[in-house]
Amino acid sequence: MAENETDDLPGAGTYRIRTLEIPARPLEPALYLVSTPIGNLGDITLRALETLAGADVVAAEDTRVTRVLLDRFAIGKRPYAYHEYNANEVGPKLIAALAQGKSVAIVSDAGTPLVSDPGYRLVKEALAAGFRVIPVPGPSSVVTALSASGLPNDSFFFAGFLPQKEKSRRDRLGEVKDVPGTLIFFESPHRLPSSLADMAAVLGARDAAVCRELTKTFEEFRRGTLAELAAHYEANDNVKGEIVICVAPPAEKQAPEGEDLDTLLRTLLEEMPVSRAATHAAQQTGLPRKDLYSRLLELKG
């Protein structure tokens, strides 16, 4: 992307749906975060099409992937590459285009920009320079997988890709083990069996769903415990495509009662004063500190 490559780009263009050619309205100068389909191109929104057709500059993670989308809807724009390897060079040029009063649309290969892609840096720079950032929402593999996983969806935590090495991967799983919501991960096919095995070892006997090739021809949802899924994919290691893993939240801990509670309290009394022991016991059990303090006094007496 040369210094003057954004100087002569057309503004509002057109897009086509079947045989209907539709003019796009001019856009105000801003950075537009345009969500694109995660597989099925029919999932594109009308607003996304109008934004891509109307933008002065279209920046894409992989121009070849975006070119397929633009060609499908007859959008005559040439996408410019913006990815983690050229962000230092291209990012300032996109900011310069905004400063010239141009509209800039950024897309990822699939789904919502800034979810596991380098767009975060550009958004931060645009905001720091005082430009508007406008989201154009649409498909997201994270929400798509969660909605059909059969797992609790009132609270979830997206953890992105796990580390490649086993120790680092297990350490990361240990960090999110107690998150009180469904865990969602991206994973590559060749690491799927080992990652599921590590999840079973660290997270325990939880239900999970492996969601593969979402919205595409060979879409697949396989559900079971982590151990069952690990065994399945260990035996069937020729898996292909893009994968999202959803893992159920941890089971609710039951507060100790009776002798179990007294055993805990006696152990704490051996290590600390009554007041501090009551605080620690309340944190560990979720029981009222006042009640625990009274019981600690009884045991100490």
Question: What digits encode the pLDDT tens for the residues 4-59?
Answer: 444 444 456 999 999 999 999 989 999 999 999 999 999 999 999 999 999 999 99
pLDDT given for residue 117 in this prediction: 65
Note the pTM of the prediction, 2 decimals.
0.79
| Average confidence (pLDDT) over 198-223 | 96
pLDDT band at 286 (very low <50, low <70, confident <90, very high): confident
Instruction: Provide the pairing of β-strand 104-107 with 156-161.
Output: unpaired
| Average confidence (pLDDT) over 180-201 | 96
pLDDT band at 271 (very low <50, low <70, confident <90, very high): confident
> In this structure, what is the dihedral angle of CA atoms 197, 201, 205, 208, given to the nearest 10 degrees?
-40
- Give the residue from 266, 200, 192 showing the smallest Cα distance to 233: 192
Average pLDDT along the chain: 90
What whole-number percentage of the chain has pLDDT above 90?
70
pLDDT given for residue 102 in this prediction: 96
| Average confidence (pLDDT) over 266-287 | 86
- Residues sharing a CB contact under 8 Å with residue 121, sequence separation 6 or more, in sequence order: 87, 91
pLDDT given for residue 246 in this prediction: 98
Question: HSE of 191 in the Cβ direction (CA atoms, 13 Å)?
Answer: 18
pLDDT given for residue 298 in this prediction: 87
Rounded to whole angstroms, the Cα distance separating 160 from 155 reads 16
pLDDT given for residue 3 in this prediction: 42
pLDDT given for residue 252 in this prediction: 73
- Residues sharing a CB contact under 8 Å with residue 111, sequence separation 6 or more, in sequence order: 35, 36, 37, 38, 138, 139, 140, 141, 142
